[in-house]
Amino acid sequence: MIRTSNSPILSIVSPQYISCFNKPKKFSTGALSRQFPPEQIHLPEYEKALHPERDEDDFLPASLNKTLLDELLRGKVGFNGIIVTDASHMVAMTASLPRREMLPTAIETGCDLFFNDPDEDFQWMKEGLENGLLTEERLHDAIRRTLGLKAKIGLHNTPREEIMLPKEEALSRIATEANTAVVRDVADKAITLVKDKQKDLFPVTPERYKRILLVPVSGIKGGFGAMIAGNKPKAHDHLKALLEERGHEVSIWESTEEKIMKLPEEERGAAIANVYAQKQPIANLTENYDLIINVGDVNSGGTIQRTIWPASKGTPDSPFYVHEIPTIYVSVQNPFDLADVPQVGTYINTYDGMLVTMEELVKKLAGESEFQGVSSVDPFCGLWDTKLWRDRK
């Protein structure tokens, strides 16, 4: 549910919460639930149970499915608000019907508002009404529900400037002290010490670990997430600054691949051919560092959420040194990174890499704050080796 400081409550619920495992789930449908975006989910087992005569080829995503919107959502669940399509260029919708049929079908099957409507779409909606794909009855029902919602939240008599605040005023309501306090509290209670097998590793203080090497670990790079992130400081940048403030000497490992990409193009071929020569004596680590922290920043918004190890061998990118030097693996996004580093004895999930979260993490590393987080998923990924620690001491 969403409440702003000067607006009524709106409840925006997605069908992906109704069916995560192909089984309908209940959600709030009281007076506060008014808007519902159907997304692009399917419920094939549910639909087959209600209509065994249907062939699987007839099953459509929720935005185009009268069984899911009318029989389930409005009928069985009792939702009486408006239903809004998600972005209509998503593949689940566009792969189901031609666009000229998809638009009126979405409204006819139960959606009240269509998201993304260029002039072409408006024309196809009119054609659908004229050729019978969209009925007058359903059109008027959608209009009635939409106007009813607008009246309920006062849009018909609220000045535009009260709805769309000036930029400066709107930004002043973001990241307030109260909001930041909530974020800090959530981070404090969420950070999870998943695997704690190394004896006497904590606390991490300058007296015990003066020289720290931070090793960034990533997944597939690029894509939309990279465009959004831009050049913002990453989790390992925050950690470096925070640890240095406490008196640690902190270095950040630059991967062999990154070094090669900085070379002139004509020199890269020879460097790639020589990539295995990057192997170093273990003494290069043990004599220069007291602690290594691998910072796994694997994009949780990507379609592939796995660690990508570089081609080079014998470099700190991959924690091959866990029995040579104290090592901590911190995953700041993907809570399942342990599957790719089962050899580590100490593994922590922070769930995000924001500065405030890294501040709380450093407190816990230093023994100033207890680890309180409890995993809501299986961070061991159902694997036997993720729980192992071969302590030879």
The single-letter DSSP state of residue 233 is P
Residue that the structure tokens 């097998």 belong to: 197
Supply the Cα-derived Rg of the chain in whole angstroms: 27
Task: List the one residue out of 222, 182, 384, 381 whose CA is nearest residue 303.
Answer: 222
Tell me if residue 236 falls in helix, strand or coil: helix
Q: Is 391 a catalytic residue?
A: no
Helix (H) / strand (E) element for 250: namely: strand 249-252
**Angle at which helices 99-108 and 119-131 pack, to 10 degrees?**
70
**Length of the chain measured in residues:** 393
Q: How far apart are CA 350 and CA 330, in angstroms?
A: 7
Q: Which of 86, 317, 337, 340 is catalytic?
A: 86
Q: How far apart are CA 146 and CA 151, in angstroms?
A: 9
Beta-strand relationship, 192-196 and 33-36: unpaired
Instruction: Give Dmax over CA atoms of the chain in angstroms.
Output: 80
Q: How far apart are CA 18 and CA 41, in angstroms?
A: 10
Task: List the one residue out of 133, 116, 188, 138 whose CA is nearest residue 352.
Answer: 188
The single-letter DSSP state of residue 234 is P
Annotated active-site positions, please?
A: 86
